[in-house]
Amino acid sequence: MCGDWAEVLIPCGTIRRMTISWPDLVTTAATDVTSVLEKAADRNWDGRAGELEWSCRETLSHIALGVVGYAGLLIAQPQDRYITLFSSIDSQAPIPAALEGIRIAGTLLATTVRDAKPEVRAWHPYGHSDGPGFAAMGVLELVVHGRDLALAHGIDWTPSDELCAPVVERLFRDAPTGHAPAQTLLWCTGRIALPGLPRRTNWRWDGTVR
């Protein structure tokens, strides 16, 4: 795995090997998540986002902060701190406009990853990382919290294996094998249990370059 591209194995009856573009994964994740959440645009977004400590609206801002922040880290390349730019979603905006903000955040990160040179490194509390690493973090923020929001609104949605497989491979070295990539990512992030594996109560990814 290197540069803007990653080669991953997708279990699906038979093994399929896919070469993917990290920038494309970020924009696809943003599009998939917002398309699902648009189904709940006319519902109340002031309630809690499932088991999270934030409301649904606050969770949208958390996603935007993370995704735009990863782009900012790649641009500024700090070695010992977070950047001073903090993004947010207008708390009074209609939900369709708020979801537009998530798509904008995804495009900003994708473009930054596409433009970043392979040798670029930047600080993150879970390990100094590179373009693909921050792209993987952005996809994680989008699909995992997107699922949190979908479930909070009664929408049964699971992100695709094609989105989740490269994230698991890039960020979770200790991930269990033998499960669908989406289920594995949800287990790695403490969302579900797997057969023989209880639900995690503490977790973190490893963004270091490898």
The Cα 49–Cα 31 span in angstroms is 20
Looking at residue 76, its pLDDT comes to 98
Q: What is the pTM of this model?
A: 0.92
CA angle 144, 41, 37 (to 5 degrees): 25
Confidence at residue 62, expressed as pLDDT on a 0 to 100 scale: 97
What is the maximum alpha-carbon separation in the chain? Answer: 48
State the pLDDT at residue 63: 98
Q: How many CB atoms lie within 10 A of CB 38?
A: 12
Q: pLDDT in tens for each of the 210 residues of the chain?
A: 434 545 554 444 434 555 779 999 999 999 999 999 999 999 999 999 988 999 999 999 999 999 999 999 999 999 999 999 999 999 999 999 999 999 999 999 999 999 999 999 999 999 999 999 999 999 999 999 999 999 999 999 999 999 999 999 999 999 999 999 999 999 999 999 999 999 999 999 999 998
Q: What is the dihedral of CA 87, 93, 94, 95, to 10 degrees?
A: 20
Task: Tell me the domain boundaries of the chain.
Answer: 5-188
For 5-188, the fitting CATH number among 1.20.120.450, 3.30.70.1450, 1.50.10.10, 1.10.10.10 is 1.20.120.450
Per-residue pLDDT at 20: 78
Distances (CA, A) of 103 to 22, 29, 31, 75, 191: 16, 9, 6, 19, 24
Dihedral of CA atoms 131, 183, 60, 150 in degrees, nearest 10, equals 150
- Partners of 5 in the β-ladder: 2, 21
What whole-number distance in Å separates Cα of residue 114 and Cα of residue 24? Answer: 9
| Cβ atoms within 10 Å of 90's Cβ, excluding its own | 12
- Token code pair at residue 8: 């991953």
Cα-flanking dihedrals φ and ψ of residue 154, to 5°? 75, 20
> Considering only CA atoms, which of 81, 41, 39 is closest in space to residue 57?
41
Provide φ and ψ at 118, rounded to 5°.
-55, -30
Q: What are phi and psi of 14, to 5 degrees?
A: -110, 155
